[in-house]
Structure 1
Amino acid sequence: MGDLFDVVVLGLLALLPLINPPTTVALFLTLSQGLGREEKNQQALRTAINVFVIMTLAFYAGELIMDVFNISIPGLRIAGGGILIIIGSRMLFPQPSQPTTANNDGAQRANFSFIPLAMPSTAGPGTIALIISASATFKYNTTFPAWVLVVAPPLIFLSTALILWGCLRASELIMKMTGPSGIDAISRMMGFLLVCMGVQFAINGSVDIAQTLINNNAQLFRHP
């Protein structure tokens, strides 16, 4: 059991900095404005479930899915960056609410548990890339018993999802302390940060592509 505990702790230490629950909580506060407590709790639970499913799929089938659809990590980063830029722009420059579309706005806000909370805010390209690379490492790991390497990944993902769920449930207390003006300020700040994150994701993906092209050209010159 000691080996299992060590692997789970190492996995959490690797994932939590990438997932960054406080950032997701701030985004959750912004997107959940106007929702009741029960609806917020449902969104928090759905987000945690979505994060668990995304991580599990990335670990067990991520490499296969990306190969089947010919998706690269740089492509994943650029696509995730584009999504963040669009969402961040809407938060940074919100459109004036119209009474005639209030119900439609509520229906749209009720669908934020997967995009952008679960992906790409929480389980983003960096997290998915780490999990896919970790899955390859696990296959050839001989340091820990085989049963630990089988049991540990689901426990790591479940623990991560539970931590995120607890943080999102605690957002109600934060909302009470900040008030509407504080939420509006957080919304615009998060919008700006999301735009910056999206641009950085796109830059990282572009740099990866450029480095790959440079390496390929260098190999061609070495072996004409």
Structure 2
Amino acid sequence: MIDLATLALYFGKSFLLVLATLLPILNPAATAPIFLGLTEGASQDTRRELARRIALNTVLMMLGAMLVGAYVLDVFGISLPIVRVAGGLLISANAWRLLNTSDASSDSRRALAEGFTPEMVRTHSFYPLTFPISCGPGSLAAAITIGVTLSESLLALSLARFAGGVAALGVIGAVMFLAFRYATQMLRPLGDTGTVVFLRLSAFILLCLGVQIIWDGLSELLRSVA
């Protein structure tokens, strides 16, 4: 019979493992400027709804990757390096688009705001705002790896570990929602010009990150055939 202290210990270990592993990779504070750039012209209410949907989508994607990610990749014969290459291409494409976006005038901002219909919010909240911007191939690969390590020989211990992981994902989702919800306030001290510069720098860093992810995936593929 497993006592509550042991279950609590396994719960706590998994909670800390998932939180310490995934939160730095997802890094909502660093992604918040990209979120602002991709939602230029949207109202605060629209951004609040997008932030809520992105946080929920991210938690569900991470949970799915932890539970069945390894099995899904195995069924389709897809390796993690391929996931990294494909995800890196998507990140690079979105970063390039953000880098080449011209600054919007007042009229164009109003047009953009009108373009954020409820249907557009539902669509854009997943692609590209959740995947691959907020929840990219690196975080998915980490979640899949964590999911494999959470399995235990005893069902009760496995359930305790997965419960700890789910609780950590809930905390990560809350942090992501707050970072995106208050992204405008975070960048307000920079002013209009400083915000534009910061957004461009963030887009460039995102492009570099995409290229790095592609290179990491290609390197693993090359090592596997060498």
Partner SS state of residue 33, structure 1: coil
Residues 197-208 of structure 1: matches in 2 within 5 Å?
197-208=209-220
Q: Deviations over 1:91-118 (max 9, x none)?
A: 1122576979945983497444323332
Structure 1: runs of 5 or more not aligned: 215-224
State the Cα distance separating 1:175 from its structure 2 match. Answer: 3.9
Distance 2:114 2:93 in 1: 17
Match of 1:127 in 2: 139
**Residue 67 (structure 2) pairs with residue 60 (structure 1):** yes
Distance 1:179 1:106 in 2: 25
Partner SS state of residue 35, structure 1: coil
Structure-2 change in CA distance of 1:167 and 1:103 (3 Å): closer
Residues 151-170 of structure 1: matches in 2 within 5 Å?
151-170=163-182
Return the TM-score normalized by structure 1.
Answer: 0.83
State the Cα distance separating 1:90 from its structure 2 match. Answer: 1.3
State the Cα distance separating 1:74 from its structure 2 match. Answer: 1.0
Distance 1:19 1:199 in 2: 17
Deviates more, 1:97-106 or 1:18-27: 97-106
State the Cα distance separating 1:192 from its structure 2 match. Answer: 1.0
Do 1:91 and 1:190's aligned partners in 2 also have CA atoms closer than 8 Å? no
- Amino acid paired to 1:176: R
Partner SS state of residue 206, structure 1: helix
RMSD: 2.6
Do 2:88 and 2:211's aligned partners in 1 also have CA atoms closer than 8 Å? yes
Residues 1-224 of structure 1: matches in 2 within 5 Å?
1-95=8-102, 102=111, 106-107=115-116, 110=121, 111-140=123-152, 145-214=157-226
Distance 1:193 1:107 in 2: 26
Do 2:65 and 2:140's aligned partners in 1 also have CA atoms closer than 8 Å? yes
- Amino acid paired to 2:182: A
Q: Percent identity?
A: 26
Structure-2 change in CA distance of 1:199 and 1:114 (3 Å): same
Deviates more, 1:91-100 or 1:159-168: 91-100
State the Cα distance separating 1:176 from its structure 2 match. Answer: 3.0
Matched pairs, number: 213
Do 2:85 and 2:213's aligned partners in 1 also have CA atoms closer than 8 Å? yes
Return the TM-score normalized by structure 2.
Answer: 0.83
